[in-house]
Amino acid sequence: MLPIAGVRSVFLLLLMLAVTAAAQSDSDQLDSVNTRTTAGAVTNSLDELRTFADVIRVIREHYVEQVDDRSLLAAAINGMLQNLDPHSEWIPPEQFQAVTEDAAGQYGGLGMDVQILDGFLVIIDVAPNTPAARAQLRSQDKIIGIDGVSMRGSNLREALTSLRGAPGTVVSLRIRQADNEQVRSVELTRALITSPSVRGRLVADYYAHLHIESFQQGTEQQLSEAFLAVQQQADSELRGIVLDLRDNPGGIVESAVGTVDLFIDQGVIVSARGRDERTDFNFDATQGVLSALPMVVLIDAGSASAAEIVAGALQDHGRAVIMGQTSFGKGSVQTVLPLRNGSGLRLTTAKYFTPTGRSIQATGIIPDVVIARVDILEDPRFAREADLQRRLENPQEADASGNAAVHRQIMQLSREDYSLAQAVNFLRGLQILQSGDSQSS
Task: Report the distance separating Cα 338 and Cα 252, nearest Å.
Answer: 16
Of 142, 195, 327, 330, catalytic: 330
**Cα diameter, the chain:** 99
- Does the annotation mark 197 as catalytic? no
Segment (H or E) for 222: helix 219-233
**Which of 305, 414, 419, 441 is an active site residue?**
305
CA quadruple 203, 205, 207, 212: dihedral sign: positive
Per the CB < 8 A criterion, the answer to whether 264 and 317 are in contact is yes
Mode of pairing for the β-strands spanning 321-324 and 295-299: parallel
In whole angstroms, what is the distance from residue 22 CA to residue 18 CA? 6
The yes-or-no answer on residue 142 being catalytic is no
Q: In this structure, which long-range contacts are made by residues 336-339, counting pairs with CB atoms below 8 Å and at least 24 apart in sequence?
A: 336/91, 336/99, 336/100, 337/22, 337/26, 337/29, 337/30, 337/35, 338/26, 338/29, 338/96, 339/21, 339/26
Measured distance CA(98)–CA(160) in Å, rounded: 8
Element (H, E) at 146: strand 142-146
Is 316 marked active-site?
yes
Phi, psi of 228 (to 5 degrees): -65, -40
Percentages (nearest 5) of helix, strand, coil residues in the chain: 40, 25, 40
- CA pair distance 309, 78, nearest whole angstrom: 28
Catalytic hit among 26, 141, 300, 316: 316
Burial class (CB in 10 A: 0-12, 13-18, 19+), 276: middle
Instruction: Tell me the C-alpha distance between 333 and 280, whole Å.
Output: 10
Contact (Cβ atoms closer than 8 angstroms) between residue 183 and residue 144: yes
Tell me the C-alpha distance between 27 and 38, whole Å. 10
The whole-angstrom separation of Cα 396 and Cα 393 is 9
Please state, in angstroms and rounded to a whole number, the distance separating the CA atoms of residues 192 and 230. Answer: 27
Q: Which residues are catalytic?
A: 305, 316, 330
